[in-house]
A = this chain, B = another copy of it.
Amino acid sequence: MLFHVQMTVRLPHDMPAVQADELKAREKAMAQELQRAGKWRHLWRIAGRYANVSVFDVSGPDELHDTLSRLPLFPYMDIEVQALCRHASSIHADDR
């Protein structure tokens, strides 16, 4: 089941660099683990912004929320979710 997720990161300007670096490193590790597990299907940077567009492939809203809320940067992100479904004009039976 696919969900389109756009995340915008807003780190507080007074967060110590060490803390920010540690958060980002953990975020990256978890993002890559989720990609390897096939849960985080696509991850693109939006040019010019500290933001990404992603596509998740999960069993439903519960797993989606569970996944997103465990991300180290979750408390610092604005997140917009859109549920996706197959488009009648797609040439793929299952476009992931």
Whole-angstrom distance between the Cβ of A23 and the nearest chain B Cβ: 12
Q: Chain A: interface residue count, which band?
A: 35 or more
A11 partner residues in chain B, CB cutoff 8 A: 75
**Cross-chain contact of A48 among B13, B46, B52, B81 (Cβ < 8 A):** B81
A31 partner residues in chain B, CB cutoff 8 A: 89
Main secondary structure of the interface of A (DSSP, over half): mixed
- Contacting pair B12 A44 (CB below 8 A): no
CA distance A92 to B36 in the complex (A): 10
- Contacting pair B47 A64 (CB below 8 A): yes
- Contacting pair B4 A44 (CB below 8 A): yes
8 contacts between A and B (CB under 8 A): A1-B61, A3-B61, A4-B53, A32-B91, A43-B89, A44-B86, A45-B65, A61-B85
The 5 A-B residue pairs with the shortest CB-CB distance in the complex, in nearest-first order: A61-B83, A47-B61, A47-B83, A44-B84, A48-B81
